[in-house]
A and B are shown apart, each in its own frame.
Chain A
Amino acid sequence: MSTLHTVNKSPYERNALKSCLDHLSAGDLVLLIEDGVLAARKGGAFAQVLGDVGRSCKIYALNPDLAARGIAVGDLVEGIQTVDYGGFVDLAADATRVCAWL
């Protein structure tokens, strides 16, 4: 039983990421998409919290959205994995449900 949480807004713009992280259960998955990928940058204001959450939940970022924003895979917080749209589909299928933090 795990939930895939999607976050599509920048954490510098809205508090969707914070709300999401505050509601996670151990074993849940978080996928950062669209402007949500801005949270994943190493050295950013959310690097520490994502690193901490990453110990009990897997965190992913959508690679085409990273590329569109000029964020290289090497610039990501350690432990964050990247997926393409096919990987997004796989995560949604493998989880029990999908929750979008809009």
Chain B
Amino acid sequence: MRFAIQINEGPYTHQASDTAYRFAKAALEKGHEIFRVFFYHDGVNNGTRYTVPPQDDRNLQKLWSELAESHKLDLVVCIAAAQRRGILDANEAKRQGKDGDNIAPGFRISGLGQLIEAGIESDRMVVFGD
């Protein structure tokens, strides 16, 4: 079965990103496909590579990046939500005249059309948030 996942909450606010990550992992282990993970609202904060939690804490950004690499996941960050919160890729940083970008490996910045498409193309859409 094909799943789409939406995450509306930052990595260390409550538990939404943790739950979504464990759900995604369990779905992949069962042989399901994950069409896309869409990070919306404060969820975009999962996608900055400048995340540096204490060494004995889980690093959700890294976990997502690693899962994306091992399973070729499409991690999409909402562009409007990202710009408000200072999440930029190289193109956006240049376009906005900023001195650097911070998008994490495996993440890409795109628009809400990607969320709609995920809903259309997937059998189930599962939302995690605040």
Judge: A and B partners, yes or no.
yes
| Distance of A21 Cα from B50 Cα, bound (Å) | 41
Interface status of B72 (Cβ within 8 A of chain A): no
**Contact residue among B23, B26, B32, B127 (Cβ-Cβ distance under 8 Å from A102):** B127
Interface status of B124 (Cβ within 8 A of chain A): yes
Tally of A-B residue pairs with Cβ under 8 A? 54
The DSSP consensus for interface residues of chain A is: helix
Distance to closest chain B CB from A35 (angstroms): 8
* Contact status B130-A88, CB under 8 Å: no
Which of A22-30, A40-48, A73-81, A90-98 sits within the interface?
A90-98
Distance to closest chain A CB from B92 (angstroms): 28
Interface status of B86 (Cβ within 8 A of chain A): no
5 contacts between A and B (CB under 8 A): A89-B23, A92-B3, A98-B124, A100-B128, A102-B130
Binding site for B on A (CB under 8 A): 6, 8, 33-35, 64-65, 84-86, 88-90, 92-93, 95, 97-98, 100, 102
Having A35-B14, A64-B22, A89-B27, one finds 15 other A-B pairs with CB under 8 Å, namely: A8-B129, A34-B16, A34-B19, A35-B15, A85-B23, A85-B25, A86-B29, A86-B30, A89-B30, A92-B3, A95-B124, A97-B124, A98-B127, A100-B128, A102-B130
